Every structure is written in C-alpha cells, then in structure tokens.
Structure 1
Amino acid sequence: MINPSSACSIPSPGSSLTPIRGDRPTALIIGGGVIGASSAYELGKAGFACTLLDKGGWSQEASTAAAGMLGAQVEIHQPGPFYDLCRASLAIYRGWAEELEDAGGIPVQYIPEGIVRAAMTADDEHELRSRLPWMQDASWLTAEELLRIESELSPGILGGLHLPEDHQVHPVWLAKSLRAALARQGCLVREWTPATRLLTDCTGSVCGVATPEGELRADLVVLAAGAWSSPLTEPLGLKLPIFPVKGQCISVRTDAPLIRSTVFTKGCYIVPKSDGSYIIGATQEQAGFDKRAHVSTIAGLYEKAAALLPRIADAEFVSTWTGLRPGTEDELPFLGTWEHAPGLIFATGHYRNGILLAPVTGKVVASLALGAAPELDLAPYAPGRAAGSRGQEIPLTL
C-alpha cells in the first residue's frame, strides 16, 4: 500500500502544493501518452486523486506514431514472458475499451477484424512458419486462402499468417476516450507542464516533482514519460537505457473499402479505419529527437504498401506525421518499482506496444499502488535491471 507522504515532505518556499481532494491519496503521473493516461484512469478507479503532467500537448509522441494494432501475435517474434504480457493485455482489451466508452462517452473505434501477415519472399515465409509452434490463435494460409479473405492483396504473396484475434483501435480516439474518462473522474490534466526533477523526502522516498511552475507533491508518482524518462531517474542513481525511435506514418483514403482486416508484411502495415482512411506505417529510425518527416522514407513506405495492396496507389493522400517511441536496449518496458526509490512506479519504455499494453499496464500500476498479490511475473521488466540489480517485487493482481 502506498502511504501518504511523511511529515518531512514540506515544500520549499514559493512552491505550489498538489491540491488535497478529500481523504483520497494523491498521485502524480508524468506523461500524457496512452500509458500515462491508462495508469491515471486505473488509479482513479482505485481511489486516487490524480494529476497528469505532460511536457507538451495531449498524446503527441509515441501514441501518435501508432496505427492502433493490437498485435499480440503479429509483432512478437518469440515466446516468453513478454508474449504472455501482450496476450494478457489483449485478453482484457475489448472489455476495457467498452468500459472506457461507458466512462467517458467517446468510442475508441475498436475493430475486431483480425490481421493478415503476408509473406512476400521465401525467407519471410520461412521465418513466419517458424513461429507457428508457439503461437496461439494463429494459422498458416496459402496465397489462395488469403486472397479469399482479402481479395485486393497482391497475387504475388506466398501465403501468410491469419491472426483473427489481433484486433485494432484508433489511437487518436483511444486518447480522446481516455481523456474524457479522466475528466469525469476529476483527474487534473496539465499540458505544457514538464517534470524537470523528481522530489524526495528525508526518508529518500519520491514525493513529487519539480516543474517550471513550482513543485507538486503527491503520495505516489508514476513515471510514464516515454523517451524522456531517463533524465528524471539519473539523479536517483538509475540511468534507464531508453531512447527515441522515430516512426513515420502515412494516412490515405479511398472512396470504397479495399480491405477489412489489417494487412501486414515485412516493413509495412496497412490498417483500415472506420472513416474510410488507412494508416500506413511505420518506420523505425534511431534519429534522436528529430521529428521531421522525410520524403525518401515516406516514399519507401508507400512502395512497400503498394507492393502488398496494389490498389492503394489509387488512394487519396491525406497526411504524414512522425512520433517518437521509447525504445529500450532489451526491447522490454520498465514496469514495476525500484527499492531505492520508494513512492515511484515505473511504466515506461513500451516501444511499439504502448497501445496494446495500455490496459494491462494501467492495472499493474494500480495494483502496485494498492499492494495486491501477484499473478504476473514482473521480474523481466524490473527497473533495477538497468543498474544490474532487480527491482523490488511488489504483489500484483490482474
């Protein structure tokens, strides 16, 4: 259980104090992407009075670099705890999405149409077939069988995986739905308010954050700052190996639908949305914090999309954009606590899987805050692994 800040957590002169709302414990969430928002939503359900801080506008970084695929099967290349975590999140997603819509009144545009992962080369076919022994809810279909599902696919495909349980949401509408639900909970959302430093009290517990507008205090702090997380933990002695990975995307539109399923091949996916548009994505570029879109990169992405779905060449161009995903060296998120920073919960480094892992991450954060019993092993995601140690194992229930 998270205890209220101790008496020695006295703000410095001139600082601002997080409002105390009734007798509820308070939580500060750093990061306004889908991970931070889902954490705030689940904490609100658990009884916390939440304040969410974002360094910029609402949901403008990794969440916007996503197409909304719930690719628990298609984007995981090997079995193990991370695959299990992704499947656990997928299993609760539809119910969670319906709950969000009821809570906020805005649909997330959940589409249960599945994913087709097509092979365009013999090497790709071999690699995809090698996954079948450990995958669940997946089958290999011949080219003819895939074309019966999605007739507009290229006749040059060699076959592929059919993943009927890998669904999708619209990332923009998911963010809107979360914000509406948070508003109805009474969560304070403070955009353009970067957290510049974590505050600690005389016991060493994290008890708030410093911002350009002053200090904010709370009983609990959640770090969900994505690619901007590491500078906040370095003064505590933990340098998180998180770095920005730029994703460039395209949106196009057709007069009549070409596909119902999400279609995917190596280096490219096309996700149909309910408004008749398609999101084509996404690149993976380690280019620092550069968010510029480049013609050559977008052109290459379009060529891959047209090779998979030839009639996409006739689509109307809508827009292109970029977002920065939080990559990690071992491609696993930091999720849990660290014994040297009590009062702080880590929920960051989700890379390409933030949309998919939003519900399970939010529930993990709330469970850690309440001290519930474990059902998932958080050891692979322990923040302390960045320092060569294990984070504190705290009970978790989902």
Structure 2
Amino acid sequence: MLSGGPATTESVNRGPFLADVGVVGAGPVGLAIAWRCAARGLRVVVHDPAPGSGASHVAAGMLSPVAEAYFGERELTGLLAESAARWPGFAAELAEAAGADLGYRTDGTLVVGLTADDLAEARRLWAYQQGLGLPISALRPSQLRDREPALAPRVRGGAVAPGDHQVDPRRLVAALRTAARRAGATLLPGAVTAPNEVAAPVVVVAAGCGAAALTGLPVRPVKGQVLRLRAPGRGAPGFRHVIRGYADGESVYLVPRDSGEVVVGATVEERADTEVTAGAVLRLLRAAVDLVPELAEYELVEASAGLRPGTPDNAPIIGPLPGRPGVLAATGHHRHGIVLTPVTADLVTELIVTGTPDPLLAPFRPDRFAGAAGQPVTQEETWN
C-alpha cells in the first residue's frame, strides 16, 4: 500500500475497509484507473454523484500529441506522445471488455491557416514541433484540398499530422463504466468532501477541478465553450479528418463523427462559470464556416460549456500527495484528459500494485508545487 508497500490482493491489510482502492471521480481518468485496478484483482469503489458529467461530457476527444505540442511544454509533449502510442491497444482492449464502439478513428489531423498571417503563426508552431521530431508535414493548398475538398478555397496552406487521432468521449465514458463494473468495480453515487471519508487504504483523487478542494493542490477551472452540429439528412459529415485551424486570428477545431456530428470548439477562458455566451458561439461558428463553408448548412444541435482542470504549468498532477499517506492524485489534465487517459491509468495502477513509481511520473508529481497540499518531499518518501 501507499504507506507500507505494494497493494496486492495477497498483501493488503483490508481490516475494516470496504475496498482496497477508492477512486474519487468517474470521468475517463478515474474510471480507467478503476478498471485497471479491478482487472488486477483489487477491490475498487468509485465515488461520483454524477459520473461522466464533468469536462469529458463537453470534450471533443482529440488525441493530438503533435498538434497540441506547445512551446515550453517538452515534458508534457513526451507524456502525450507516450499515451497516444498506447491508445490503439487501449481502445481495442476496452472495446472488447465493454462490448462497445468508442468512436475511435485514425484519419489523422489537418492543421490549416486561412490567411497569410494565420499560416505564418501555424508555421512557427510546426517548426517547433518538427524540431522535436514529431510527425507533421507541410502541405500546399492543392494538397490540402485533395485530402479535404470541403476546405474553403481561401485556405492558404496547412500541414498533416497523421498520428493525431480521435475518440468520442461520451462513448468512452460509457464503455469505461461498463468495463469497470464487469471487472468487479463498484460505482457509488455519493459525493466525497475529503479523502478520509473513503473507506479504502488507497484513495485516488481523480476529481478534475474538484481536486483542489479535496487536496489543496493548485487546480483551477478553465472554461471551454463547445458546439455540436449535425450534417444534413443525418449523413456523414463532408470531411473525414480532424481540422484544426486559424481563421483571421481565431483558433478553432472541427471534429467529424461517423454519426454525422461535428464538434466545433473551443474557447479557453479563465472563468469558473458554465454559461454559453452568444459571443463565443458567434466566434466559433464564424471561424468554422470560414474554413469549411458547408458547415453553414448544418444543424446546430448543442452549445455547452465545461471546466477543464488547469494547473500552473499546464501539466497533470499524478502521484502520492506529500504528507497524506495513502492518497494519490490523478488530476490537472487541462485540455489533455482524453489523450492522457491510458498512460495515467497505467502509471497509477502500477504504482498502487507494485509500490514503485515509473520514471515517467517524475515531472508530474504533486510535490513539484512547493507549499501545495503539504511540504515537498520525494515520491519515495511519500510512498514508503
């Protein structure tokens, strides 16, 4: 266990506990951890008053380790790439375990610029991404339209990231709930206000923005507004790649689904409300239609807003809490919660079962924030 070695079904001292592992939060990360732990033979209880109602319900589901590699986030980019590499196996295993279609697609992502200034901004980022050895290749306008004829003739150029894929987060959460239950995990609808309320020797706080109140960690809400459109006649959208673009200085993404849905997003606002505003809808729709004109004829079926769990360095917080024996954090994934689900679940489960932290966890430990949730100590000291 966290305070005395690995948590195996043979070694755990269950005592009065109802479970070996308690997970607070039933979003993709929390459910994936529950599924993995239950599959390893541990008794798992998941606590959430409204499973799947957080950021994942609004998320677009882009698996974009390349297109979302940003300046100054080299270690995070490495974790994104590692998790993306695990996604094909994770998706296949989960689809089989749950008997469900996740909406996992591997068509790749096009990154485009509408104007000369938009293209210059995009090229600056591509140069950085290529400098990291990431697979992204520039395309001429004619090459872009060969791949996606629906793109506007005004688009000045772009690039393709063939390894950036997508999944449907709402299907993902439903599949993870099924798989976790089939593996033996129990889902309880009650809310938790402190980790010590959970009757388990190991508690994993995977509560998104709620982790701040539960742990004292510096997790803040970052608002995102998202639209969902539907193709006419409920047919497939007129494009197949995820399109990430810059349109007159406005950043937008378009995610097509086999169901005919297109997700358009997203704003990034340092706010904690979930109101949908007319201005955000206007900006998103204008940018989307500028890039793919046919979207003007699509039905607007949903406008929603959610809160991403942000951190001071935009990287997740994963690992034991300093001074809190038996408590692990798996939160702060910001805009990367879906793509980071497999690697977070694997690393946390392995830490619980073996007691040994994977080196991949080192840059993302809770104790990197001095004074948050206790004084900084080493991961090994917290664990043992």
Instruction: Give me the TM-score of the superposition, normalised by structure 2.
Output: 0.88
1:65 aligns with 2:58: yes
Give the counterpart letter for 1:19 in structure 2. L
1:41 aligns with 2:35: yes
Residue in 1 aligned with 2:242?
Answer: 262
| Distance in structure 1 (CA, Å) of the matches to 2:316 and 2:377 | 13
Given that residues 128 and 161 in structure 1 are in contact (C-alpha distance below 8 angstroms), is that contact kept between their aligned partners in structure 2?
Answer: no
Give the counterpart letter for 1:99 in structure 2. E
Percent identity between the aligned chains?
Answer: 32
Please point out which of 192, 195, 201 is paired with 1:195.
192
Residue in 1 aligned with 2:94?
Answer: 100
Residue in 1 aligned with 2:227?
Answer: 250
| Distance in structure 2 (CA, Å) of the matches to 1:245 and 1:155 | 34
Residue 379 of structure 1 and its aligned partner are, at CA, apart by 2.1
Residue in 2 aligned with 1:393?
Answer: 379
Residue in 2 aligned with 1:14?
Answer: none
Please point out which of 121, 134, 157 is paired with 1:124.
121
Residue in 1 aligned with 2:206?
Answer: 224
Give every structure 1 segment of 4 or more consecutive aligned residues whose post-TM-superposition deviation is greater than 6 Å: none
Please point out which of 305, 311, 331 is paired with 1:328.
311
Please point out which of 151, 166, 169 is paired with 2:167.
169
1:154 aligns with 2:152: yes
Helix, strand or coil at the partner of 1:222: strand
Given that residues 71 and 356 in structure 1 are in contact (C-alpha distance below 8 angstroms), is that contact kept between their aligned partners in structure 2?
Answer: yes
Residue in 2 aligned with 1:273?
Answer: 257
Residue in 2 aligned with 1:203?
Answer: none
Given that residues 252 and 265 in structure 2 are in contact (C-alpha distance below 8 angstroms), is that contact kept between their aligned partners in structure 1?
Answer: yes
**What count of residue pairs does the alignment treat as equivalent?**
358
Give the counterpart letter for 1:225 in structure 2. A
Given that residues 347 and 358 in structure 2 are in contact (C-alpha distance below 8 angstroms), is that contact kept between their aligned partners in structure 1?
Answer: no
Given that residues 379 and 390 in structure 1 are in contact (C-alpha distance below 8 angstroms), is that contact kept between their aligned partners in structure 2?
Answer: no
| Distance in structure 1 (CA, Å) of the matches to 2:166 and 2:380 | 31
Give the counterpart letter for 1:125 in structure 2. A
Helix, strand or coil at the partner of 1:179: helix
Residue in 1 aligned with 2:270?
Answer: 286
Give the counterpart letter for 1:304 in structure 2. A
Residue 6 of structure 1 and its aligned partner are, at CA, apart by 8.2
Gaps of 5+ in 1: 11-17, 21-25, 200-208, 210-215, 234-238
Shift of the 196–286 alpha-carbon distance from structure 1 to 2, 3 Å rule, reads same
Given that residues 125 and 158 in structure 1 are in contact (C-alpha distance below 8 angstroms), is that contact kept between their aligned partners in structure 2?
Answer: no
Helix, strand or coil at the partner of 2:217: coil
C-alpha distance after superposition, 1:181-223 (max 9, x if no partner):
01111211112x1111122xxxxxxxxx2xxxxxx31121001
| Distance in structure 2 (CA, Å) of the matches to 1:88 and 1:240 | 25
Helix, strand or coil at the partner of 1:221: strand
Given that residues 195 and 205 in structure 2 are in contact (C-alpha distance below 8 angstroms), is that contact kept between their aligned partners in structure 1?
Answer: no
Q: Give runs of aligned pairs for residues 66-85 of structure 1, distance below 5 A.
A: 66-78=59-71, 80-85=74-79
Residue in 2 aligned with 1:305?
Answer: 288
Give the counterpart letter for 2:191 in structure 1. P
| Distance in structure 2 (CA, Å) of the matches to 1:374 and 1:57 | 31
Instruction: Give me the TM-score of the superposition, normalised by structure 1.
Output: 0.85
Residue in 1 aligned with 2:3?
Answer: none
RMSD of Structure 2 on Structure 1 (CA): 2.0
Give the counterpart letter for 1:328 in structure 2. T
Residue in 1 aligned with 2:323?
Answer: 340
Given that residues 70 and 168 in structure 1 are in contact (C-alpha distance below 8 angstroms), is that contact kept between their aligned partners in structure 2?
Answer: yes
Give the counterpart letter for 1:393 in structure 2. Q
| Distance in structure 1 (CA, Å) of the matches to 2:252 and 2:321 | 37
Shift of the 122–44 alpha-carbon distance from structure 1 to 2, 3 Å rule, reads same
Helix, strand or coil at the partner of 2:165: coil
Residue 80 of structure 1 and its aligned partner are, at CA, apart by 2.0
Given that residues 119 and 158 in structure 2 are in contact (C-alpha distance below 8 angstroms), is that contact kept between their aligned partners in structure 1?
Answer: no
C-alpha distance after superposition, 1:57-77 (max 9, x if no partner):
111111112101001111121
| Distance in structure 2 (CA, Å) of the matches to 1:331 and 1:321 | 23
Please point out which of 357, 378, 390 is paired with 2:340.
357
| Distance in structure 2 (CA, Å) of the matches to 1:164 and 1:123 | 21
Compare 259-268 and 375-384 and name the one that shifted more: 375-384
Gaps of 5+ in 2: 1-5
C-alpha distance after superposition, 1:162-190 (max 9, x if no partner):
01111100010001110110111121111
Helix, strand or coil at the partner of 1:321: strand
| Distance in structure 2 (CA, Å) of the matches to 1:287 and 1:134 | 32
